[in-house]
Structure 1
Amino acid sequence: MTCIFCLILYSAGSHDTMTYCLDENSAVSGNESKLVKFLNKCMPCIVRPIIMKWSITQVLTVTEQLEAGVRYLDFRIAHKASDPSVNLYFVHMVYTTVTVQDILWEVLKWLETHPQEVVILACRNFDGLTKKLHCHLITCIKQIFQCKLCPRNVVPTLRTMWQHGYQVIVSYEEDLEVLKDCELWPAIPYWWGNKTTTRALIQFLELMKRMGRPETFFVAGINLTENLRYILVHPFGSLKTMTLRSLPCLKMWVRKQCPGPQKECINIIAGDFIGNDDFVRDVIELNTKINPQLYCPSKGSGTNSISFSAF
């Protein structure tokens, strides 16, 4: 009988995890186009509400997402161009009200009360980060999580993670920094469809599956993406409306997936507004296709302790 600690398990993730606390009064991100910056400067009363409607992808706090069963956190990290401090924020068109350091402490606090849970922190984007700021961020990560960080030379089965007390895998989207530090893992590939319709998104994901899964962690994003044309055609719409409309079809697609190392198997599945529908539960229950004994809900946890994606 296959040991459950060596399985390749499904895990649920949140796309753009930190957008629940975007600051509507912040400057527009340095990564945005000159047109967006110009329009925001000239017509802030009109443009800013539109930016907020199409930037927010989550409404649950990071602790609430973890309680709901999310184990992959998508952290888009940035430094404000006009900020003389080393404070780092999360970003999606605009910056968050909270700092990266505060959220890392919040994640640690949750992990300390859930010693058998493992989370993946995908650190991405890095808008405005210099070498000095990368060093500051990595130092903060290491100081906060310390021995909970899983080195990348470890094969992260649940048995190994539990035996050594590892609870955090940090995926870092900056190759030069990864080479310097054994606590950092290479960037986890994210299958981003960049589609405005559910049908097109599912077709994209099925095409990626036929091409074959990566050998390591990877994410299938079931998040739709707006473009300027879509926004103009739906002037009273929002990303949330767009997402909720797509959930029934995406829910059916998720339930058809199978975990495992085979070519067309999927690893982590990430979505927007993860508190809506039964997304997280549906993803975790896919593990019962390997072993029915894996799914045993615990009271008040929102999920089970077997919810980690390994090789």
Structure 2
Amino acid sequence: MLPLFLLFVVSDGFASEVSTVQPLILTVSSLSRETVSSVVPVDREVQIHVHEEFDRIALYDSNPQGQTREPIYVVPAEHIETGFIETNVSLGNPEFPQGWSLNSQADGGERAVPGEHCLPVWVAGFRDKKIVYTDCLKIHPTWMQDNKLFIGNLDVRSLLIPGTHNSGCYKRGDKLSLRDTIGRYILTQDQSVWNQLVYGIRYLDFRIGYYPPKENTSITDDHESRFWINHDLIKVRPFASVLGQIKKFIERSTNEVVIMDLHRFPIGFNMREERHTAFVSYLERELKEYAIPFTPSTLTLDKIWTTPGRLIISYGENSIAQTKDWLWPPIKQLWGNKGTVQDLEEFISKIVANDSLQSTDKGLWAAMAQLTPGPLELLFNPKGSLREMAHKVNPNLMRWCQRSHWWRKLRIVPTDFFMETDIVNLAINANVIKGHQDTRYETD
């Protein structure tokens, strides 16, 4: 299905200024809160961004069009004009529809259906007591394939790619636990890697640690359990479990291109080349058949789709990356290390203004859209957390991308608690516009 904005693009002859903003946008808060009725904190509460005037706005658990349904939440009239509403409706951890849950195809179960699909959270905008606009929270498991005709001509280095920062640092279970809330500066996501990919994320950022077994520090063929995903010096979960999710997604989605950035190796690798060798051997055995060979030349999605590869593997140590043709050089992460939203906005605006980054010769790069906690924040703010910091940044990031048209020049945009942004929808729309504009220039 064509995005709504595309009708405007086509009829206006590829107008130079195109709005990708929908009248009502649903996101999911990064915050968690305790309740008096439960020892389990509540998280994933739905947010509504309002970009047009409505008499009434309500949430439903299914499509309200053509049905007489009671809403699950009604926005108070005095809040409609604020432009941003935080509700107490939790998305929870819904089963993905149309075969996109992780274990859907086990034992011959439901096959995955391409396309975007709605979760059971819908928003409706009313005027004169009639519904004039509806939308839902969606998964976008095949957005590259869905838009193949529009974006196939684009170089992979020119795409706007929705990403996550420290992608493997997500909460430990189906529900937020007290243990999770204690790790205020460890967890950066609240969705598994599988879920991230199904929602539409296409850039994954990992830090890898090596932990030798206590009884034997030598490297053997059975070393998978020694590689962990870290948040800097703290190990979070085994890499093997995440790798399995990536492989399964690539196999099920067929035409989605995923970028895996093995960005740093903070524990166990320093001055130990044999451990890099063991890790690369493990990657080669598990992932080489999915890997896209590195090339400095133009590499369009159309060209990728004629090959078996669907995974770009970037290795953070360039000397190691150069030893294998299926490893890509390190991806440059542009960090502002800023502690305030205003300073972060200024930093990203400078990235956007740097025309030299627009050349595909610069390779893959990422504008890191996070605040960085300083020592005082860590020591003296007992209520501070990465969730709080993401909550300050994420709604602003979307406004910056829309208002200043940053989406035209940004490339990979990794976020914390990505569901509090509309980055996937923004990327889909932006890439379709880019693809049409490139086609126009080629035919003029």
TM-score normalised to structure 2 length: 0.55
Residue pairs, 1:120-199, within 5 angstroms:
120-127=259-266, 128-129=268-269, 130-153=272-295, 155-199=298-342
Give the secondary-structure state (helix, strand or coil) at the position aligned to 1:249.
helix
1:73 is paired with a residue whose SS is strand
Letter aligned with residue 151 of structure 2: I
Q: Say whether the 8 Å CA contact 1:13–1:73 is kept in structure 2.
A: yes
Contact conserved, 1:9 with 1:259, CA < 8 A, in 2?
A: no
Q: Deviations over 1:147-204 (max 9, x none)?
A: 3211112643111111002101111111211121111111011111111111101111
Q: 1:106 aligns with which of 245, 261, 272?
A: 245
In structure 2, distance between residues paired with 1:109 and 1:49: 26
Q: CA deviation at 1:227?
A: 1.0
| Closer/same/farther in 2, CA of residues 203 and 258 from structure 1, 3 Å limit | closer
**2:257 is the counterpart of 1:118:** yes
Report the Cα distance in structure 2 between the residues aligned to 1:293 and 1:60, rounded to whole angstroms.
34
Matching of residue 4 in structure 1 with residue 146 in structure 2 = no
Please, which of 420, 424, 433 is the counterpart of residue 276 of structure 1? 420
State yes or no: 1:226 paired with 2:373.
yes
Deviation at 1:282, TM superposition (A): 2.3
Structure 2: gaps spanning 5 or more residues: 1-13, 15-148, 174-178, 439-444
- The aligned amino acid for 1:4 is I
Distance 1:11 1:75, change over 3 A: same
Of 57, 69, 72, the residue aligned with 2:203 is 72
* Residues 314 and 327 in structure 2, CA contact (< 8 A), matched pair in contact too: yes
Q: Distance in 1 between matches of 2:202 and 2:373?
A: 26
Query: Quick one: distance in 2 between partners of 1:122 and 1:22?
Result: 22
Is this contact kept in 2: 1:123–1:173, CA < 8 A?
yes
Question: Quick check: which one's helix share is greater?
Answer: 1
* TM superposition shift of 1:22: 7.0
What is the alpha-carbon distance in structure 1 between the residues aligned to residue 285 and residue 298 of structure 2? Answer: 23
Task: Report the more deviating stretch, 85-94 or 206-215.
Answer: 206-215
Local SS of the residue matching 1:19: coil
Corresponding residue number in structure 2 for 1:257: 405
Q: Distance in 1 between matches of 2:407 and 2:153?
A: 13
Q: Is the 8 A contact 2:172 2:180 kept in 1?
A: no
* Distance of 2:191 and 2:180 partners within structure 1: 20
What is the one-letter code of the residue matched to 1:108?
A: K
Q: 1:268-301 CA distances to partner (integer Å, 9 max, x unpaired)?
A: 111000122423222332224324699xxxxxxx
* Structure 2 partner of 1:248: 395
Quick one: structure 1 residues 169 and 21, their matched pair in 2 at CA, closer, same or farther if it must change by over 3 Å?
A: same
**Shift, 1:233, TM fit:** 4.5
- Structure 1: which 5+ residue stretches go unaligned? 24-47, 295-311
Q: Determine if the alignment matches structure 1 residue 55 to structure 2 residue 186.
A: yes
Following superposition, the deviation at residue 82 of structure 1 comes to 6.4
Secondary structure in 2 matching 1:59 = coil
Aligned counterparts of 1:132 and 1:173: Cα–Cα separation in 2: 16
Deviations 1:80-111 (A, max 9, x none): 366536410011141023x2223212201111
Higher relative contact order, chain-length normalized (CA < 8 Å, sep 6+): 1
Give how far 1:3 is off: 7.2
Cα distance in 1 for residues equivalent to 2:346 and 2:212:
39
1:205 aligns with 2:348: yes
Aligned length: 265
Pick one of 19, 24, 34 that aligns with 2:169: 19
Render the CA deviation track for 1:200-248: whole Å, top value 9, x for unaligned: 0111111223333162111011111111112345221211012112222
Q: Are the aligned partners of 1:21 and 1:96 in contact in 2 as well (CA < 8 Å)?
A: no
What is the one-letter code of the residue matched to 2:399?
M
TM-score between the two structures when normalised by the length of structure 1: 0.77
